[in-house]
Structure 1
Amino acid sequence: MTTSSISRRKAGEDAEVIVVGAGPAGSTAATYLARAGLDVLLLEKSTFPREKVCGDGLTPRGVKQLIDLGVDTREEAGWLHNRGLRVVGGGVTLELDWPDLATFPPYGVVRPRQDFDEMLARTAQRAGARLLEQTTVTGAVTDDRTGRVVGVTAKAGPDKTPVTYRAPLVLACDGVSARLALSVGLDKIESRPMGVAVRRYYASPRSKDDYLESHLELWDRSDPANPVLLPGYGWIFGMGDGTVNVGLGILSTSKAFGSTDYRKLLTSWLDGTPEEWGFREHNATGKIGGAALPMGFNRTPHYRDGLLLVGDAGGMVNPFNGEGIGYAMESARIAAECVIQALARAEGPAREKALHGYPVALQQALGSYYRLGNIFSKLIGNPKVMALATKYGLPRQTLMKLVLKLLAGLYDPKDGDAFDKVIVAATRMAPTV
């Protein structure tokens, strides 16, 4: 037996680390952990391939995470590239190229989540993680004496057989449901923003597009005499395969949040688009899907007593733009680094110090930016502010280049241009909300 194959598992343990959920956060974390030689158990409630409600688009920030993971993001490998964001609103259409940065690549990508998530899960398997599908985790197992999380309970297989898996560390990558976090009393912070997104695929001649398209004016015209501008945006992302992913996202900071029929709103918005785009019922290739978007670190602490919250489970969605995939992967990489360091230490204070480094590293990477995003989401929750911003901001291309960098988190924190310095300064001044 080689030194690298000696397991650090104790008697009664099923793995050194349990990762719950094989979405982008879970599969990314499992890949990094397994590559470091750790014995990783990756538990997924469904079976691959599986569908997921999402815009299917990644900005350059998300693409960087794929590249860091070793994924081939070339077009020859099946990724549809885009060069920037097309912003539509206030009678203005602007095409803004992704900024040229040292930190992030100059292109975004589009790929269906059904294919994307399975690709990441298989990457984790190839790295050595043990993937168990059809395993629905129902809660955390805690040590009666210390209260520490030492495993999970689950229902496995088609017959939902009760099972228990044990490990010294558990990563909760179980998405917006955050079932693991809730099982140990980690509730969401109601003052932080939430979003809701709905999307549908249509056969459309707009399938191949060099830009991700964002519509900043989202009108609820259910009462024609009193149209309402909602805080959110619509998107049109060409998939490159003859279909388009069309959807919309709404923020909880709006008075209309929770009282709006989002599926009906999507249909009425699309009915107002040109007929030749094809966004009509007879061209739909599937049903309308919806999902909640937990934003701005809306569940903390991100580490406590052997449990790390990663991705949507820890509210990692960007409150500026609703992007979740890249930030889920980014938090997973940070979590994995901390776990790898922790498990190289003996149990006790030294290991705990490394684990407590996870929320600290998250704050350093995203904390001030998300604080600013939470303020932004409250501002645009006011329809008057949104209308003024659209009317006076969109026609100013230089300003919009700054806004694009801010909304997409695409700025160089060190040695950046004047816009980057403005954003860095703004994030430093953002108060805690």
Structure 2
Amino acid sequence: MSSTQAEETADVIVVGAGPAGSTTAFYLAQAGLDVLLLEKARFPRDKICGDGLTPRAVKELLTMGVDVRGSGWVRSRGLRACGAGLRVEMDWPDITGYPGFGLVRTRQDFDHLLAARAQAAGARLHEGTNVTDILLDERTGHARGVVARRDGVEHRYGARLVVAADGASSRVAVRMGLQQRKDRTMGVAVRRYYATDRTSDDYLECWLDLQDPASSGRRSMLYGYGWLFPVGNGMWNVGVGTVSVHRRPDIDHRALLRDWTARLPEERQIDEDHATTAVRGHALPGGMSRTPQYTRGVLLAGDAAGLINPLSGEGIDYAMESGRFSAEVIVQALARSTASQCERALNAYPQLLKDAFGGYFTLGRLVVQALGNPHLMKFVTAHSLRRPAVARMMFKLWCNLIDPRSNDAADRVMSAVLKATPAP
């Protein structure tokens, strides 16, 4: 659709008020730009997620000035990994510049909080506004705004740039011709909430011995995990997720959740009598599954760019980091005196993401590809959990918390490997 007179304009339109979009809008507004943040739902609204935040995400919250000490936040010391009849508790790595704790908070509260933070910085939030198309400059083909529907009425919004933060299925990215790549990781996760007598836990709990309920005879182990994350007041976010390379996992994840929870200890109360919601699921296209992350006036952030950890399925930290990166690039670009200089600054955005995440995402994809072999997955699970040093090294890799300045030999080795691994 070609651009016409817009009824409302801004310097930048951000599509989607999830962690990526709200973080982008916050930093843009804080820098003095006029920002329009468009969200198709109305807050508070739910998002399918594990609700767990690693120290990477907590660091982003603290940088934004979010108070994480009040009610609604559940603090975690680290991870409890379970598998092969073993349980290993590991605290979050001690890395300079990162907090030594994680958090849990439901996305219904979390996303609303971040959107309000963006508003407080000066962004204009329009809820219930579903972006349906892009306004394109007829001469250059660059995005110059969006078309959206709100309360059944079509609206046109103009801007110098558009940020697509509208999730994995990103309508904005598709409209700009950016499809998901098939050579990246694809995960699927399902989750459900339960109300139990067990009020909380200091550790996020992950079970590594998922077995395909559809496999005949001896069950095949899957690359993935089941999780139990406390969200406060006896409520638990419980789910399972698997990841594969090149294709969507051909597994009934609802059956996988039923099979795994049936094997949990009875005292956990993870059963039908204590369930409070239906099972809901979503896809996790990861490893930078959309490229390039900038084209013709549109930048991709968060899930829209496929910025999901291939190993853990975690996306909130990368969403917020990419939101901060995109805002930095946009502020620099719009300060340039000519259109060509502005475009040159914007074209640096994909390289910025590659430098930050590329080597890790490539390594993660290779690990997932290897551990897709059920025999190797079983071997690695059993032998890593029996060796605390190996388990901790795998934990650091899994959550992407490797300290290149550490004196620890494992950190130095993993840092060297990551530096030598090419970006996807």
Structure 1 runs (4+) deviating above 6 angstroms are 10-13
C-alpha deviations, 1:183-224, integer Å up to 9, x for none? 011111100001111000011233400000111110123467
**Equivalent residue for 2:163?**
171
Number of corresponding residues: 420
Range with bigger deviation, 233-242 or 341-350: 341-350
CA distance in 2 between counterparts of 1:224 and 1:271 reads 19
What TM-score, normalized by structure 1, do the two folds share? 0.93
Gaps of 5+ in 1: 1-9
Q: Say which SS state the counterpart of residue 117 (structure 1) adopts.
A: helix
**Equivalent residue for 1:147?**
141
CA distance in 1 between counterparts of 2:326 and 2:171 reads 19
**Equivalent residue for 1:209?**
201
**Equivalent residue for 1:65?**
60
Q: Residue type of the partner of 2:119?
A: Q
Taking structure 1 as reference, are residues 334 and 23 closer, same or farther at Cα in structure 2, changes over 3 Å only? Answer: same
**Equivalent residue for 2:237?**
245
**Equivalent residue for 1:199?**
191
How far residue 251 of structure 1 moved from its aligned partner, in angstroms, is 1.0
1:36-185 correspondence runs (5 A): 36-74=31-69, 76-157=70-151, 159=152, 161-185=153-177
Check conservation: 2:187, 2:249, Cα contact below 8 A. Answer: no
Q: Residue type of the partner of 1:150?
A: R
Asked if 1:420 corresponds to 2:414, the answer is no
Q: Percent of aligned pairs with the same residue?
A: 50
How far residue 362 of structure 1 moved from its aligned partner, in angstroms, is 1.1
Asked if 1:315 corresponds to 2:306, the answer is yes
C-alpha deviations, 1:14-35, integer Å up to 9, x for none? 1000000000000010001001
Check conservation: 1:54, 1:199, Cα contact below 8 A. Answer: yes
Q: Say which SS state the counterpart of residue 241 (structure 2) adopts.
A: strand
Check conservation: 1:206, 1:244, Cα contact below 8 A. Answer: no
Q: Residue type of the partner of 1:14?
A: T
Q: Say which SS state the counterpart of residue 94 (structure 1) adopts.
A: strand
What TM-score, normalized by structure 2, do the two folds share? 0.95
CA distance in 2 between counterparts of 1:307 and 1:413 reads 33
Check conservation: 1:140, 1:153, Cα contact below 8 A. Answer: yes
How far residue 416 of structure 1 moved from its aligned partner, in angstroms, is 5.6
C-alpha deviations, 1:81-105, integer Å up to 9, x for none? 1101000011111000111110311
RMSD: 1.7
Taking structure 1 as reference, are residues 285 and 263 closer, same or farther at Cα in structure 2, changes over 3 Å only? Answer: same
1:371-390 correspondence runs (5 A): 371-390=362-381
CA distance in 1 between counterparts of 2:128 and 2:117 reads 19
How far residue 178 of structure 1 moved from its aligned partner, in angstroms, is 1.3
Range with bigger deviation, 309-318 or 204-213: 204-213
How far residue 357 of structure 1 moved from its aligned partner, in angstroms, is 2.1
Check conservation: 1:194, 1:292, Cα contact below 8 A. Answer: yes
How far residue 432 of structure 1 moved from its aligned partner, in angstroms, is 5.1
Check conservation: 1:206, 1:238, Cα contact below 8 A. Answer: no
**Equivalent residue for 2:18?**
23
C-alpha deviations, 1:81-136, integer Å up to 9, x for none? 11010000111110001111103110000001100000000111111100001111
